Amino acid sequence: MTTTYEPNQVLSTKEFKVVGTRPIRHDGVDKVTGKAQFGADVFPTGLLYGKILRSPHAHAKIKKIDTSKAAAMAGVKAVMTGRDMPETPNVPGEERRITLGELSTDLKYLREQVMATKRVLFRGHPVAAVAATSPHIAEEATKAIEIEYDVLPPVLTAPEGMADDAPIIHDDVFTDELGEKQTDKPSNVAEHFQHKLGDVNKGFAEADVVIEREFNTSTVHQGYIEPHTCTVQWNKDERVLIWNSTQGPFNVRDSAAQVLDIPISHVRLTPMEIGGGFGGKFEPYGEPPAAILSKMAGGRPVKIVMTRTEELECTGPTPGSYIKCKIGATKEGKITAMQAHMAYEAGAFPGSPVGAGAMCVFAPYDVENMLVDGYDVVVNKPKTAAYRAPGATNAEFTSETIIDEIAEKIGMEPLEFRLMNAAKEGTRQADGAPYDKIGLVEVIEAMKDHPHYNAPLEGKNRGRGMALGYWMNAGLQSSVNIAVNQDGTATLVEGSPDIGGSRTSISMQAAEVLGIQAEDIHPSVADTDSVGFSFGTGGSRTTFATGWAAYKAAEDVKQQMIERAALIWDVDADSIEMEDGVLKSKSDPELKTTFKELAGELNSTGGPIIGRGAVDPKGVGVAFAGLIVDVEVDPETGKVDVLRVTAVQDAGKAIHPSYVEGQMQGGSVQGIGWGLNEEYFMTEEGVMANSTWLDYRMPLALDLPMIDTVIVEVANPGHPFGVRGVGEVNIVAPPAALANAIYRAVGVRMERLPMKPQTVLETIAAQKG
Amino acid sequence: MPQKTSVTTHINGEEVQFLAEPRQSLLESLRDTLHLTGAKEGCNDGNCGACTVEMDGRIVDSCLVLGVEAEGSEINTIEGVATPEGLHPIQEAFLENAALQCGICTPGFIVASKALLEANPNPTEHEIRFWLAGNLCRCTGYDKIVRAVADAAGRMSS
């Protein structure tokens, strides 16, 4: 080939003036100069430092807590235990659901997770907290708190928790069986649900090839670089001020208020810049204790910054899982049945992402017979939190590995096999509604067309693997206000923390409507007193939903600008149109002005103009992605080197292609880390043995090649610019693509994540002798 | 309370005095005492590089240096990378290549990249990756960071 190779391609289907360009992000200069204020960068007057004392045991009864020595130490201003937390009324049959990003929980569990009262359920479970004049004094004081425990045996994996003789973690958790009844004995299985389509027994009977395998995946962490941090001040007027690092300012405002048993409007949460989240920063961890400590200390602000070990041991990882997956197909290449049994670790309290995983496991395929059984299993590990397409990566690792194996058995090229069975508009999944317009076929075609797919791969122990990924994305509520400035620019106020350039992708949608430049919009992420409710930055929703709110707010401004021009020109508003920032009469060519000129006249012609956008959009566009990866396996050590990666994804419409590529590259690399390195290495006692970044090894620059991208654009009919969420689906395909590449390299089928050297060697020994 | 030591040092070209307990890290002194919050705490045990600063011509994780060890040294932090004339070419390249997402690791990457390009004005992709292996980024997958550093090398040599 003689054409120049483009590492980052955009297969654009519709062009706009601002949307689809690559302006410098609005917060960029602050972030490259060190001026951006992140969670830990606030120092209000009178600041105290909080520290949480945590359980050394994975499962134990608390017999006695004595805080007297800690309270007497110089510099200590407050000491609290679970007894200082408000009681949560536990009304039988009356749940108080709390939204935690893409997951949710019952208030009584969240309260107990924030600080234990009677029993500790995971290593690192908070049991007490101290506020002092320095972080070192606070840490010393926590060590002076004396606690007696009765240690209980821990349950550490879903299969262990489901065993008949498993220790029971909660005496008030009963199995919700198929949404119909509850078991009469307490169980570690909080829920068993089923999605059913057609008849899998009939489907498997029609198959020429049936493959069934059992898979185990390890617990992994989101690994955001900035730890959770919060500063909380309980004022004398009973207002609680929070400055923190969160994906969901309104979500944490609400959940923290509920845990503290105060009205949500008593909390003002100011979201600082956030150093990554990936789903893990939707929960209140330090905020309620810091609030109570602040109140005890007379209203002085209390800052709690988690250590990295606290992050790994105590904040939401994503679950380890056991999945049995079975797929059958005819020798002509038609998939006849797909079945999965999925058991996910919820962590210490019910609520794993197994439900989402079950919706994703077979999502790329149009198959008549499907059966998925999901189990939510409590174990003595930290409560799981959302992590980028939560539940999907575990699930699709298993199905996409078996798809590859069946393709091989029937002698079909794996992408052709996928294409032949690919879901399309109207395809119904086992869990319900048929797809609206989707871009799966286009993604597979783009993979086939890519130079990477067609390049020869030479050398021993090398292999190329492919896999698909699906994620459903979220909509949910967002609010945006836009005010027109006299100099012809506009300020935009939104409530979605900017984790990856979303100030800009949101502003660009407003700029497109107003016919001005992206740089003419000045966006800010406001505190919870200053903008309407906005669900957090997660679920790949921000550019979609908050962008939509910005679109609506801009349309509102546009209409008011037209009406103002009508007033000035003394004509009917219907006779004026505004396009590309120019307002003109449809009939009189003399009547013409620009957005910028008119903006300068607003104050003298009736006053300022502000636009509002408040949305709860329903037209969420689901996302498909694919990954092509080349690896080299060292058969002596089992180490897998990643040689080349190409990520393909349907973005609907890439508002800012650079930041869409960034999501694809970052998600791919998180998926590579999950696939090859990352795991919670637990001792039998339930202690994480690798709770630092030296030992919990995330991918480094040196581990990776460049990550090439192809953005496919199949417009989402449910969004004004065709946007689909782009943040999450890219993490899903890598583990399966790597497993399929390892198969091509050394001829073994991987059934465990991570596919670390030891696992690769053991698999080679087991399958090849 | 432990006795504090008076430390005299140069930070970004200016003489600075501060008090530090023997147990306080340089990172803590910079952030909590001097409120130079550009250096970030990601792990506090030398694994992530978010707190990278230059100390006497060498990049260090400031969480692994004690504040009192800064006595008499020359320290350069992210706050000193841009000049009154404007952004450093590395900062421009990070912006134009979209080499940051959340931005928490960015100060460390920029300080480390500046040291790389001062030592090796024309690094290969492998040399960039090797030098930056002490800085963790969880958002970008490193692709755009590597491109930005290569781009900055070009800007600085021309």
Domain extents in chain B? 5-80, 89-157
Cα of A638 to nearest chain B Cα, Å: 22
Domain A40-152+223-314 annotated CATH 3.90.1170.50: yes
> CB-CB: which of A41, A275, A670 is closest to B102?
A275
**Could you report the per-residue pLDDT of A596-633, keeping only the tens digit for each?**
999 999 999 999 999 999 999 999 999 999 999 999 99
**Interface touch A34/B39, C-beta < 8 Å:** yes
Which residues make beta-bridge pairs with A659? Answer: none
- Whether A27 has its CB under 8 Å from any CB of chain B: the answer is yes
> CB-CB: which of B50, B103, B132 is closest to A701?
B132
Cβ neighbours of B81 (radius 10 Å): 22
Residue B30 banded pLDDT, cuts 50, 70, 90: very high
User: What residues of chain A lie within 8 A of the CB of B105, using their CB?
Assistant: 225, 275
State the pLDDT at residue A340. 98
Phi-psi region of A224 (alpha: psi -120 to 50; beta: other; left: phi over 0): beta
Give the residue extent of every domain in chain A: 1-16+436-471+622-769, 40-152+223-314, 478-615
Tokens of B109: 């990457």
Q: Which of B143, B144, B146, B147 should be substituted to probe chain A, the one whose Cβ sees the most A Cβ atoms within 10 Å?
A: B143
User: Which of residues 102 through 121 in chain B touch A, CB cutoff 8 A?
Assistant: 102-107, 110
Q: How far is CA A500 from CA A334, A361, A662, A670, B65, in A?
A: 41, 27, 8, 15, 31
Name which of B29, B35, B32 is nearest B55 in CA terms: B29
Which residues make beta-bridge pairs with A500? Answer: none
Complex ipTM over 0.90? yes
**Interface touch A706/B136, C-beta < 8 Å:** no
Q: Which of B33, B137, B142, B149 should be substituted to probe chain A, the one whose Cβ sees the most A Cβ atoms within 10 Å?
A: B142
**Overall pTM > 0.95:** yes
Helix/strand/coil percentages in chain A, nearest 5 = 30, 25, 45
What stretches in chain A show pLDDT beneath 50? 1-2
> CB-CB: which of B39, B125, B139 is closest to A666?
B139
**Interface touch B105/A28, C-beta < 8 Å:** no
Architecture of domain A1-16+436-471+622-769: 2-Layer Sandwich (3.30)
User: What's chain A's Rg over C-alpha atoms?
Assistant: 27
**Interface touch B141/A707, C-beta < 8 Å:** yes
CA–CA dist B20, B5 (Å, integer) = 5
CA A585 to chain centre: 47
- Whether B38 has its CB under 8 Å from any CB of chain A: the answer is yes
Amino acid at position A702, single letter:
L
Architecture of domain B89-157: Orthogonal Bundle (1.10)
User: What residues of chain B lie within 8 A of the CB of A27, using their CB?
Assistant: 103
Pairing of strands A126-132, A48-54: antiparallel
Tokens of A155: 């349950």
Cα of A361 to nearest chain B Cα, Å: 25
From the DSSP assignment, how many helices (H) and strands (E) are in chain A? 20, 32
What is the fold of A478-615? Aldehyde Oxidoreductase; domain 4 (3.30.365)
User: What residues of chain B lie within 8 A of the CB of A669, using their CB?
Assistant: 140-142
- Give me the mean pLDDT over the B120-132 stretch: 98
- Whether B22 has its CB under 8 Å from any CB of chain A: the answer is no
User: Which of residues 617 through 676 in chain A touch B, CB cutoff 8 A?
Assistant: 658-659, 661-663, 665-670
State the pLDDT at residue A63. 98
> Which CATH class for the B5-80 domain?
alpha beta
CA–CA dist A101, A107 (Å, integer) = 15
A1-16+436-471+622-769 against A478-615: fold identical? yes
> CB-CB: which of A134, A223, A701 is closest to B138?
A223
CA–CA dist B27, B9 (Å, integer) = 14
- Give me the mean pLDDT over the B38-58 stretch: 98
Amino acid at position A501, single letter:
G
